[in-house]
Amino acid sequence: MVHRILCVDPDEDVREETVDKLRSELADQDLRFETAGSLASAEAELTTDTAAVITEYELPDGTGFDLVGAAETACPDAGCILYTDTDPDTIDTTELRGSITEYVGKDSIFGTERLSQLLATTVETRIQATYPVPQNETERLAALRSYDLDNPDLLTSLDRITDLAADHFDVDRASINIINEHSQDFLACYGDAQDWESMDREDSICTFTILEDDEVMAVEDVTEDPRFETRSETLLGMGIRAYMGANLITSTGLVIGPLCVYDDDRREFSAADEAYLRDLADVAMDLIELHSRLDGVAGDTGGTQ
């Protein structure tokens, strides 16, 4: 997996030297470095899959904190590291408050070695994310990528499953979601959920569902759940007050995302409700794996003709 790293320093020589050292100290990692000398040019380089931002504090047209603020919007999962000559005691941190930024002094006796250690940990474990990441995330993402999830026949079948779920639970919205590296994407949708577009993973409820040991997660009221209360305004706007998601688990035990139903009223879900949704999720996963096997067989047959 390639990780995009943005390195920002007004001094071109220092910038290039830092990148050269990181490249050599982290030669075993698949890193792609981009560089910038100003806030404006750095902001232009930010993309959703930027994994880390390393920046000086003093920039000609702003500060490193301005860039951290921009990164929060453009790439919320990215780790930010202030690599600077500026003494941390002299930096006013109150403007950022909620944001977390790592600090490494350029005068550190360890030079860039400490920076590279920290960068490696940051990109490998996504330590500055605002949500927990499954321990088997790399394998989970590899499993997700192994399926052809664009197959129209498969998508039609999955749509039927969301129809069944919505009908059973008498709700206006149901969907099958997949949890990608940085986003939640909708594979099949029922009702108003058809208008939904891909969302940042940090805003998704399902990114917590995939961590559940017992495969199903229910939320009676998002406004009262400490994990979602700060995002509840957006969720209520989507018609989501209550939620239940059941994980789609591959035959190798990895979770690619959940099947979900949403209610715009507060709602409790029973054990029987959870069992029913779990069964539907199992059927959905069986369908995905079956289509994958069929594609494989078709490919083999094609090859022998």
Partner 1 sequence: MTAETDGGYEFADGIPINPIDQGTIVLVAGPALSRAEGVARTLVADGSDAGEGMLYISTNMTAEKLLNACQQTRPSFDDTRMGVIDCSGQDAAQSTLGERVKYVSTQSDLTGIGMKFSALYEGLYGTVKNGRVRTGLISLSSLSMYVDLRALFQFAQTVSGRIDSAGGLGVLAIDPTTHDTKAVNTLSQVADGRIEVRESESGTGDGELRVRGLPDQPSGWQPFTLSE
Residue 97 or 271: which CB sits closer to partner 1? 97
Is residue 89 at the binding interface for partner 1, with CB under 8 A as the rule? yes
Among 198, 207, 69, residue whose Cα is nearest residue 131? 207
Nearest approach in angstroms of CB 181 to partner 1 is 17
- Paired residues of 80 in beta bridges: 53
Of residues 101 and 175, the one with the C-beta less far from partner 1: 101
Interactions with partner 1, residue window 194-233 (CB under 8 A): 202, 208, 211, 225-227, 229-230
In a 13 Å sphere around the CA of 145, the CA atoms on its Cβ side amount to 9
Binding-residue pattern over the window 92 to 111 for partner 1, x denoting contact by CB under 8 A: -xx-xxxxxxxxxx--xxx-
Number of residues that bind partner 1 (CB under 8 A): 42
Candidate segments 26-34, 129-137, 161-169, 234-242, binder of partner 1 by CB under 8 A: 129-137
Which is closer to partner 1, CB of 100 or CB of 275? 100
Distance CA 84, CA 212 (A): 40
The Cα 59–Cα 68 span in angstroms is: 12
CB of 127 or CB of 275, closer to partner 1: 127
Cα distances (Å, whole numbers) of residue 43 to 22, 38, 55, 117, 302 = 21, 9, 12, 25, 48
Instruction: Specify the DSSP class assigned to residue 190.
Output: E
Token pair of 213, please?
A: 């040991």
Alpha-carbon distance 255 to 287, whole Å? Answer: 15
What is the sign, positive or negative, of the torsion defined by CA atoms of 41, 42, 45, 48?
negative
List the one residue from 7, 42, 91, 166 that touches partner 1 (CB under 8 A). 91
Among 35, 50, 63, 122, binds partner 1 (CB under 8 A): 122
Q: Which of 179, 88, 187, 95 is nearest to 141 (CA)?
A: 179
Part in contact with partner 1 (CB under 8 A); list of ranges 27-35, 45-53, 85-93, 245-253? 85-93
Q: What end-to-end distance do the CA atoms of the chain give, in Å?
A: 35
Minimum CB separation of residue 305 from partner 1 in Å reads 51
The alpha carbon dihedral of 108, 109, 112, 118 has a sign of negative
Q: Is 90 in the site for partner 1 (CB under 8 A)?
A: no
Shorter beta-carbon distance to partner 1: residue 93 or 194? 93
**Interface with partner 1 in residues 240-279 (CB under 8 A):** none
Closest distance of CB 132 from partner 1, Å: 4
Residue at token pair 């070695």: 113
The residues binding partner 1 (CB under 8 A) are: 79, 82, 88-89, 91, 93-94, 96-105, 108-110, 113-114, 117-118, 120-122, 125, 127-132, 202, 208, 211, 225-227, 229-230
